Amino acid sequence: MSLLEVRDLTMQFGGLTAVERFGLTLNEGDIVGLIGPNGAGKTTVFNCLTGMYRPTSGEICLFSKRIDGLHPHEITQLGMARTFQNIRLFKDLTVFDNIRIAFHYQINYSLACAVLRLPGFTSEERLILGKTDELLKIFDLYDQRNEIASNLPYGEQRKLEIARALAANPRVLLLDEPAAGMNPHETEELTKLIQWVKDRFQLTVFLIEHDMRLVMGLCQRILVLDYGITIAEGTPHEIQNNRAVVEAYLGEEAL
């Protein structure tokens, strides 16, 4: 069964068509990459999928349910979480709190319950505490749990953002340029981490990436976007030898 189904997704800003008739099918356990030159519309696709933008036309179905037009928080609650290209952590909060906040929508106690400090509050808070620590340990961030997020090294911040997205309990994970700003060594670590996380949490992953080594090493399938149009789709090997893709990246003369 396909988890995420996108049909004819088009996004226009005024007269500018950022994405045109984009289509995608994500099956359970897939790991699919979206590449393309700068300004090709990759992040726009992400923003449409996660509800940050309302698409001009087209259909997006998550678990066979229409999600275009829903708010971002509703989509997250349905089971699709994301990270951002330019890391959006809660910078002045601790590593621990960054994760803990992502458990918010999974709590059941009401505001009145919190105000009166009823037993439900304590037990659920304790549960979240345990889950947060567990996640921190899995991501090897436990020792930094009391550190302010913005004090972490860049690579750790990326890791924390992925951990935070996982706290929202997704089945589909969208990663927007997870390797941006990383050196080759860090990228290699990240590639392993993504593969491992995907297996550990049984995720379906859709990612945007510029780093070809990461994309080629990780993805089973790759889509190439240029000026909002999908110019190619296929396995890493097919994409590497695709004439249109090379043209889009290097220009016609390069051939």
Q: Which residues bind other proteins (CB under 8 A)?
A: 50, 52, 71-73, 76-77, 81-82, 84, 88-94, 97, 100-105, 107, 109, 111, 114-117, 121, 124-126, 128-129, 146-148, 151, 164, 167-168
Q: Closer to other proteins by CB, 52 or 212: give it.
A: 52
Between 108 and 254, CB nearer to other proteins: 108
- Taking alpha carbons only, the member of 60, 251, 64, 50 closest to residue 168 is 50
Under DSSP, is residue 231 helix (H, G, I), strand (E, B) or coil? Answer: strand
Distance CA 140, CA 76 (A): 25
Identify which of residues 61 and 113 has a Cβ nearer to other proteins in the complex.
113
d(CA 155, CA 178): 9
Least Å from the CB of residue 166 to other proteins: 11
- Helices (H), strands (E): how many in the chain? 10, 10
Cβ-based nearer residue to other proteins, 160 or 248: 160
Query: CA-CA distances (angstroms) from residue 117 to 62, 104, 110, 123, 124?
Result: 37, 17, 10, 10, 11
